[in-house]
Amino acid sequence: MSEPARVAIVGGGISGLSAAYFLERDAAAHGQSMQIDLFEAAPRLGGKIHSAQHDDLLLELGAESFLSRKTPAIDLCKEMGIDEKLRGTRSENRKTFVWHDDRLHQLPKGLSGFVPGNMNSLFSTSLLSLRGKLRVAADYIIPASKQSGDESLAQFMTRRLGKQAYQRLVQPLLCGIYAGDGDQLSLQATYPELRKLEQASGSLIRGLKLRQQRSQQTGEKPLPPFVTLPNGMSDLIQAVADKLASTNIHLNTGVQDCQKQMDGWAVSLNTDEGSHAASVYDTVLMSCPAYVTSSLLENSNPALASQLNEIPHVSTATVNLWYAAESFPHALDGYGFVIPSHEQRGLTAVTWTSSKHFDRAPDHWRLIRGYLGRAGAEIDDQMSDEELVSIVLRELKRTMGISEKPAGTRIQRWPKGSPQYTLGHCDKLQNIDKTVAQLPGLFLCGASYRGVGIPDCIREAGSAAEAVFHYLESET
């Protein structure tokens, strides 16, 4: 009997875990045996997905929900048998605000991504001037650009919807997703479908309407746009981990080096007990952030290490705060608000969690969450917890009139937590792919490359697992 193929997966976030699941599933379907070791440096699985119970509150320290329109996460939930538990946000409170001109303005309803789909709502918002609204509507008649090649999100959205809509509407939302700078972010790497819509329909608004009509014609009852799980996003992590039948999960086990050898990849580890002699694997799947993969390959493949290091990552933090409902001065009648970066406030967004999500806080609490840090205004390691909380409290007072002290806070830092797909990102990926192709047995996936959202990470983990599987098949 031949030896089972040996696979090392580096990182136990959603990318690494789902890759392990897809590999096990495919191996079982083909009657192949594999030994999979998944190494996670932290004492827990999940990476940027981290739900924490605090008494009767459920705090999301990282991701809070995912987009249902991108199907890989929904499909994975189905395979895990947890899709029936998925819940949308609280529709009775579906309103989001933008801080502009010293007050909160409601975002127009019917936004799809960043594009207003409901003209009545667009014309009734106080966020844009009449001129700004007419400029958005001009998207219907402005011809598609004939230029090929990449452009920044700021350039593209300004070209289609005007400067005002970009600054007051698109940019703050964008910052909430990428913690990024629209002048630097690449359209091709972040929202290539918007360029395709422009090309196909000559207008973003018309293109999105057509897409919505087509999806309505399928007759399927659409899921709410964003969904989550009753015990938080970590439910997904737990479900995938529980489903793994043969993967050995090694927590508190950081990979410290990877070297290509004649007979495979030598992976050396670092645990509480110190460094360990390297074990050899047929393949290594790196699902950790690109800058970590870079450091692991620095000794053996400096060229690849430096290509990986070209992908910037920005440090951010979240601060959960909770208040007794009885003395809370604000109605929290919505999902929260975003703050345009030109306001230079330190805070980028606030989610009114207890109004946005079910199952997060019982009625006697009001739970909110502040987001800090973005490209150009990152969270500095030197900033103390007190400083982070005081920025949030200062901004809550200014924007929402809350001067009460919270009953509790929970700070979570995400050092280099947000990958930035800046202009040229797709070229960087091409170069990385070329170099990786010359290193048989090495595979990459994770949020640094082809999508930061949870569904994108799962899709890419699926592709990487498939590539690992085919590689191993071709080797036997």
Ligand X SMILES: Cc1cc2nc3c(=O)[nH]c(=O)nc-3n(C[C@H](O)[C@H](O)[C@H](O)COP(=O)(O)OP(=O)(O)OC[C@H]3O[C@@H](n4cnc5c(N)ncnc54)[C@H](O)[C@@H]3O)c2cc1C
With respect to ligand X, which residue has the nearer C-beta, 264 or 455? 455
Select the residue interacting with ligand X from 318, 354, 399, 420 (CB under 6 A).
Answer: 318
Among 7, 15, 136, 184, binds ligand X (CB under 6 A): 15
Contacts to ligand X from residues 189-218, by CB under 6 A: none
Among 136, 290, 454, 472, binds ligand X (CB under 6 A): 454
Rank residues 12 and 232 by Cβ distance to ligand X and give the closer one: 12
Nearer CB in complex with ligand X: 65/171: 65
x/- map, 147-166, ligand X, by CB under 6 A: --------------------
Taking each helix axis as running N to C, give the angle between helix 14-29 and helix 454-475, from 0 to 180 degrees, rounded to the nearest 10: 40
* Token duo for residue 85: 């538990």
Interface with ligand X, residue 110, by CB under 6 A: no
d(C-alpha 341, C-alpha 37), whole Å:
42
The binder of ligand X chosen from 6, 7, 8, 16 (CB under 6 A):
16
Task: Pull the structure tokens for residue 257.
Answer: 């080096």
Contact positions with ligand X (CB under 6 A) in 46-85: 47-49, 62-66
Among 5, 7, 8, 13, binds ligand X (CB under 6 A): 13
Whole-number minimum distance, CB 114 to ligand X, in Å?
Answer: 16
Regarding 255 and contact with ligand X (CB under 6 A), the answer is yes
Angle at alpha carbon of residue 63, lines to 407 and 222, rounded to 5°: 115
Rounded distance, CA 99 to CA 101, Å?
7
Ranges of beta strands (E only) in 198-340 are: 226-228, 248-250, 254-261, 264-271, 274-281, 283-286, 313-324, 336-338
By CB under 6 A, name the one of 115, 157, 292, 332 that touches ligand X: 292
Contacts of 147 (CB under 8 A, 6+ apart): none
Candidate residues 365, 414, 421, 469; the one interacting with ligand X per rule CB under 6 A:
414
Rounded Cα distance, 294 and 307, in Å: 8
Q: Which of 173, 447, 464, 468 binds ligand X (CB under 6 A)?
A: 447
Q: Applying CB under 6 A, does 440 fall inside the site for ligand X?
A: no
Q: Which of residues 269-288 bind ligand X (CB under 6 A)?
A: 287-288
Residue 39 sits in the site that holds ligand X (CB under 6 A): yes
Our finding on whether 453 is near ligand X (CB under 6 A) is yes
Residues 365-404 that bind ligand X (CB under 6 A): none
Q: Distance between CA atoms of 394 and 390, rounded to whole angstroms?
A: 6
- At 433, list the tokens: 């792919």
Write b or e for each residue in 434-462: b if 16 or more Cβ atoms lie within 10 A of its Cβ, otherwise e: ebbeebebbbbbbbbbbbbbbbbbbbbbb
Any contact of residue 26 with ligand X (CB under 6 A)? no
40 near ligand X (CB under 6 A): yes
Report yes or no: 118 and 110 within 8 Å, Cβ to Cβ. Answer: yes
Separation of alpha carbons 266 and 250, rounded Å: 17
Phi and psi at 223, nearest 5°, equal -75, 160
Interface residues with ligand X (CB under 6 A) are 10-16, 39-42, 47-49, 62-66, 254-255, 287-289, 292, 316, 318, 414, 417-418, 446-447, 452-454, 457
